[in-house]
Amino acid sequence: MTEKILLSGVHDAKNILFGALEKMSTGANGGCPLEIQLAIEQASERLNKMLATYRMANGKLQPAICSVDARMLVEEAVMRCFEGYDGPVAAVINELADEEWPLDRELVQDAIINALNNAKRFAATKVVIESQATAHGLVITIADDGPGYPMAAAPETLTDETGHSGMGLILARHIAALHQRHGGKGELQTFTGGPLGGAVFQLTLP
Amino acid sequence: MSLTHKDLLAAARAAEFSSRIRKLSFLIIEDQEPARNTLRGCAITCGAFHVAFALSYTDAIFKIRKNPDYDIILCDYNLGNGRSGQQLLEEVRLGKLISERAVWIMVTSEQAYEQVVSAVELAPDDYVLKPFSANVLLSRIEKALTKHDFFTSYYKADPDSLPARMNALVELAKKPDSKRYGADIMRKRADELSRHGRPKAAIAVFDQIISDVYPFPWARAGKARALMKMELFKEAEAEIASVVVEKPDYFEAHDIQAQALTAMGDVARAQRILEHVTERTPRNYQRKRMLSQVALINGDVETANRVMTEVLEKDVVATISVEDVMSLARSKITCGDKAGALAAIAKIPPEKAISIGQSDALALTCIEVCADSETAVAKFKSLCCDLRSDNLEPSEMVDAVRAALYCHEDDLANQLALDLLSDTTRARSVFRLLARVYTDAGKKDALRLIQERVAQILISKQRLLKTAA
C-alpha cells in the first residue's frame, strides 16, 4: 500500500510539473508566473506528503509540537489551497477558534489542505470550514455539498484535482493519532451528511 | 460573520498592511545569490521597500552590529561553512544585538527544522518552508507583527525591573485576545523570573506550562536551567536527560546536561557528551569553549589545549575575551607549558587588559605566577593576606592554590583548598583539577589530610544540626 501511495505521489508531482512546463512553452507570454509558481508549490506539497508517508510507514514520523494560532492555521490552509483557483466552488469560513493550540503545524495544515483539495474537487458549489475549541479538543470541520464518500469502499483515500489517489486519509488519521495530550489522542472522523449533505472531514486534536 | 476564500486572499493584499510593511526595514540573510534574489522578490511583493542584505554569518553579525534597528529579519537556516541561522539567532538574541521587537523569520527547505523550532528555548518568531508564496510569507510576517503589537507594553516595561515586566504580563493576560498568546505569556513569565534570579518561581511556571499546555522540550529545558540555578543538579540532569533522548538534535539540551553532570562531578561523561555534540556542530565555538573547560577539569589537558587554541584561531566573529585567554593559559600551565601560557596572556587586547575586573586580574596574576613571572610573584605575595576574603569562582580558587603552592605559601594553599572543599557543591566540579595541582606540586598527602579535615568539619556540622533539631 505504501509503495502504491509513493508511486502515485511521484506520478502526481511529475504531472503537475509537466503541466506547468506545457503552459510555459505554449502560453502567449511563456505561461503565467503565478500558475507556474502554484504548480511548483503543489508538486512540492506532493513530495512532502510522500516523505511523510514514507516516514509513517517506517515508524519515523514524529510530530514537532508548537503553540500554534488555530485561526491562522485554518486561514492559511484555505489561502494555500485556493490561491489562483478560478473554479465554481467557494470556500466559506465560518467561526474559527481564536486560540493557541499545541500541534504540529506542518502536518496538520497538510492534512487540512488535502481535505480541502478533495472537497474542492467534489463539491458542487460550496465548502464550509469551521473550528471550535471544545472539551474534547480543537475540532476542525470541512464539509462540502458534493456526493459524499462512496459507500462501496471505505473512504480511505482522498483524491486531488488531478484525479489520482494520494496520501489521503490514512496519513491524516495517523497525523491525528500522533497528537496526544492529557491522556487523549487525536482522531479523524469522516462521514457523509452534515449540514451540506456531502462529505464531512472532522479532525479533533486533544 | 463568514468569510470566503476570496475575502481572505484580498485581505492578504490589503493596502493598509502594505503601507505598514513599506515603512519597515528588512534584512535578508542568505549566502546563495539565486535564493537571495528570490527572497528579495518575495519581500518586495509583500510590500517591503527598505531591504538590506547579509551574505554570510559573519556579514550578518557585522550588519546587525552596525544597525541594530532592523524590523524584519528573513534568515536562511543554512548559512554555509557549518553555520546555521538558528546559531545566528541565538548569538544575536543572547548578545542583545537587536531589539526584542525585531521579527525573525527563518527560511528553510529542511522539514527537519520543525523539530529544531519546536524544541529550542530561543525560537524565531516563525519560519517558512520553501517553496512558499509571497502570501504565505506575508501572512507569517503579519502574524508576528500582530503578536509583537500585543506585547508592546511588555517590551516597553523596564527590562531590569521584574515587577514592571511581570505587571505588564498580568495586564496582558486580562485582555480579550490573550487566548491566542497564553503560552507565550507564560513563557515570558518563566523567562523573566529565571533571568531575575527567581528560579523556584520560574520552575512553578514551567511546571504549569508542562502540565496544563504541553510538555514542550524548551519548557523542560528551562526548568532544568532553573534547577541548576538552585544547585539541584541531580534533578536538573534527570529533567534534561529525558529531553535529550526525545530530541537528540536539540543541541543546547546536551549542553545543559553536560553542565549538570560537571556540577555533579561526572566530568568524564560531560566531556563525552560535549565531544559528540561539537562533532555535529563544529562551528559552534561557544560549545567548544565549554568543552575546553570541561576537558581541563577532567584532566584531559591535551583536548583542552587543542580545542581552546582552535577557538582563538577560528572564532573570527567573537572578539577575544579575557575568559578565553585564561582558559587557554590554564590548560597550558596545567601541562607545564609556561611559555605558552605567557604567550596566550599576551594576546589579551589592550582595551580589555585596562578594564579587567578584580577577580579576573587576580586569576591572571595566579596563572602568571606559575609561568615564572617575577612581577606576578611579587604581586601575588602582596595580595596573600587579602586572598581568603575574595569572592572567587572555584576555578579561580584552584588558580590561587596553584600559585600559593608555587610560592611555597603552603599554609595559604591548604587553607584555600579547605575552604573550597568544605563547600561540597562548588568543590565537586573542580576536585579533579585541584587533585592534579597538588599532585603536580608533589603534595598529594597534604590534600589527603585536607580531605580528612573537611570530612570532620562536615560531620561536626551534621551533629550540630541534629542537636538543634
Residue B131: cis peptide before it, omega within 30 degrees of 0: yes
Confidence grade of residue A155 (pLDDT, cut at 50, 70, 90): very low
Across the interface, of A38, A65, A93, the residue whose CB is closest to B214 is A65
- Dump pLDDT digits (tens) for A169-183: 888 999 999 999 999
CB half-sphere exposure, B32, CA atoms < 13 A: 12
Burial of B310-320, coded b for 16+ CB within 10 Å and e otherwise, reads: ebbeebeeeeb
- Dump pLDDT digits (tens) for B306-347: 999 898 888 766 666 788 888 888 888 888 888 888 888 887
The rounded percent of chain B whose pLDDT value lies above 90 is 47
- Dump pLDDT digits (tens) for B42-67: 888 888 889 999 999 999 999 999 99
Rounded CA separation A122/A129 (Å): 15
Rounded CA separation B413/B401 (Å): 5
Rounded CA separation B265/B234 (Å): 11
Q: Does A54 touch chain B (CB under 8 A)?
A: no
Please classify residue B9 by burial: count the beta carbons closer than 10 Å to its beta carbon, then call 0-12 exposed, 13-18 middle and 19+ buried.
middle
Mean pLDDT of the B207-217 span: 95
pTM to 2 decimals? Answer: 0.82
What's the Rg (C-alpha) of chain A? Answer: 17
Q: What is the residue-averaged pLDDT of chain B?
A: 88
* β-sheet bridge partners, residue A138: A133, A205
- Asked if residue B213 lies in contact with residue B190, where contact means CB atoms within 8 angstroms, the answer is no
Lowest mean pLDDT among A39-53, A127-141, B132-146: A39-53
B81: nearest Cα among B281, B250, B276: B281
- Asked if residue B31 lies in contact with residue B76, where contact means CB atoms within 8 angstroms, the answer is yes
- Take residue B149 and report the three cell numbers written for it: 503589537
3-state secondary structure B228-268: HHCCCHHHHHHHHHHHHHHCCCCHHHHHHHHHHHHHHCCHH
Instruction: Report CB contact under 8 Å: A98, B184.
Output: no
- Dump pLDDT digits (tens) for B175-195: 998 989 999 999 999 999 999
Backbone angles phi, psi at A153, to 5 degrees: -120, 155
> Closest-CA residue in chain B for A51?
B111
Q: What are the respective helix, strand and coil percentages of chain B, to the nearest 5?
A: 70, 5, 25
Which chain B positions have a beta carbon within 8 Å of A41's beta carbon? 131-133
Across the interface, of A65, A83, A102, the residue whose CB is closest to B135 is A83
In angstroms, the separation between the Cα of residue A15 and the nearest Cα of chain B is 18
Please classify residue A183 by burial: count the beta carbons closer than 10 Å to its beta carbon, then call 0-12 exposed, 13-18 middle and 19+ buried.
exposed
pLDDT score, position A163:
45
SS3 label, residue A196: coil
pLDDT score, position B15:
58
Lowest mean pLDDT among A3-7, A86-90, A189-193, B454-458: A3-7
> Closest-CA residue in chain A for B218?
A66
- Dump pLDDT digits (tens) for B225-256: 999 999 999 999 999 999 999 988 889 999 99
Question: Position of cell 507564560?
Answer: B186
SS3 label, residue B4: strand
What's the Rg (C-alpha) of chain B? Answer: 26
- Please state the ipTM of this predicted complex: 0.82
- Asked if residue A96 lies in contact with residue A75, where contact means CB atoms within 8 angstroms, the answer is yes
> Closest-CA residue in chain B for A38?
B133
Which chain A positions have a beta carbon within 8 Å of B214's beta carbon? 65, 67, 102, 181
Confidence grade of residue A167 (pLDDT, cut at 50, 70, 90): low
Lowest mean pLDDT among A43-47, B47-51, B409-413: A43-47
pLDDT score, position B199:
97
Instruction: Report CB contact under 8 Å: A106, B129.
Output: yes
Confidence grade of residue B448 (pLDDT, cut at 50, 70, 90): very high
Burial of B125-134, coded b for 16+ CB within 10 Å and e otherwise, reads: bbbbbeebbb
Which chain B positions have a beta carbon within 8 Å of A38's beta carbon? 133
Q: Does A7 touch chain B (CB under 8 A)?
A: no
Say if residue A161's pLDDT is above 80: no
Mean pLDDT of the B434-446 span: 91
Which chain B positions have a beta carbon within 8 Å of A40's beta carbon? 131
pLDDT score, position B172:
97
pLDDT score, position B370:
87
- How many C-beta atoms surround the C-beta of residue B372 within 10 A? 13
Rounded CA separation B387/B369 (Å): 15
Say if residue A27's pLDDT is above 60: no
pLDDT score, position A160:
44
Q: Which is more confidently placed, A60 or B469?
A: A60
In A112-151, the residues whose Cβ lies within 8 Å of chain B are none
